[in-house]
A = this chain, B = another copy of it.
Amino acid sequence: MNNPSTGVLSPAELEGALRKIGHERYHNRHPFHRLLHTGALTLGQVQAWALNRYCYQAAIPRKDAALISRVTDRSLRREWVHRILDHDGWGEKEGGIDRWLVLTDSLGLDRDYVVSQRGVLPATVFAVEAYVDFVARHSPVVAVASCLTELFAPDIHRERIAGMLENYPFISESVLVYFRRRLDQAPRDAEFALDYVKRNARTQSEQQGVLDALTFKCNVLWAQLDALYAAYVSPGTIPPGAFDPSELPCLR
């Protein structure tokens, strides 16, 4: 339990505090996600979501490499590098980014346009690059903690698979392969990261850094949905140059 003389949390208390942050701040509570999962969005709005989320997906290997670049503990590097392989693909193996492009393909978005990220909302880019930068600048334990939104991902992925399949005629089981794979990967990754953080955040200052990192990361995800909501739902003010569903003949 909390040591009153030092303010240091026990590992179980730290986990509880992390889970509380996720419960209050994870982006499954955002109005855009409710709309997405309940079938309330148009094709254009789902396209905008998938297109912007690609920007986040594409940055994840840079984020993981930035983390590794700060780590002198070789065993942590050896564990963490599999995230880069999982997401970028490796040798003949496809990665998570390929699986995300299966989704954008199926939504009728041109692959070159998606990969170019030309139509991404500026606020998405800012949030994503803030995440890469955060990981590059903080200590390994704090950087690892910023990945702990994975603790809350499987529920949202299950909800998303069921909701999108049920509610959108343009979504089929095969295009949701990204989320199905993450149902296996995310719990393993999250369990390792949570264990690492509980073992290595031992001082009050480190524990506060870890809690702040998860709050920061929740903000990174939340801000992306705020931007989507403002541009494509209400007030629906699409920034200059950003993807406009009404302009592009993008459905194949």
A136 vs B66: C-alpha distance in the bound complex, in angstroms? 9
**Neighbour of A74 across the interface among B70, B88, B132, CB < 8 A:** B88
Count of identical protomers in the assembly: 2
B62 touches A71 (CB 8 A): yes
A85 touches B89 (CB 8 A): no
A72 vs B68: C-alpha distance in the bound complex, in angstroms? 17
B84 touches A77 (CB 8 A): yes
A77 vs B68: C-alpha distance in the bound complex, in angstroms? 14
A62 touches B58 (CB 8 A): no
- Tell me if A81 counts as interface (CB < 8 A to partner B): yes
Q: Inside 8 A of A136's CB, which chain B residues have their CB?
A: 69, 136
Name the prevailing secondary structure of the A interface residues: helix
- Tell me if A90 counts as interface (CB < 8 A to partner B): yes
Please encode chain A, from 83 to 119, with 1 for each CB lying within 8 Å of some chain B CB and 0 for all others: 0110011100000010000000000000000000000
Residue of B nearest to A97 (CB): B74
- Tell me if A22 counts as interface (CB < 8 A to partner B): no
A67 vs B66: C-alpha distance in the bound complex, in angstroms? 9
Of residues 23 through 78 on chain A, the ones whose CB sits less than 8 Å from some CB of chain B are: 58, 61-63, 65-72, 74, 77-78
**Can you show 8 pairs from A to B with CB atoms below 8 A apart?**
A61-B77, A63-B69, A65-B68, A68-B84, A74-B97, A78-B89, A81-B81, A84-B84
A68 vs B135: C-alpha distance in the bound complex, in angstroms? 14
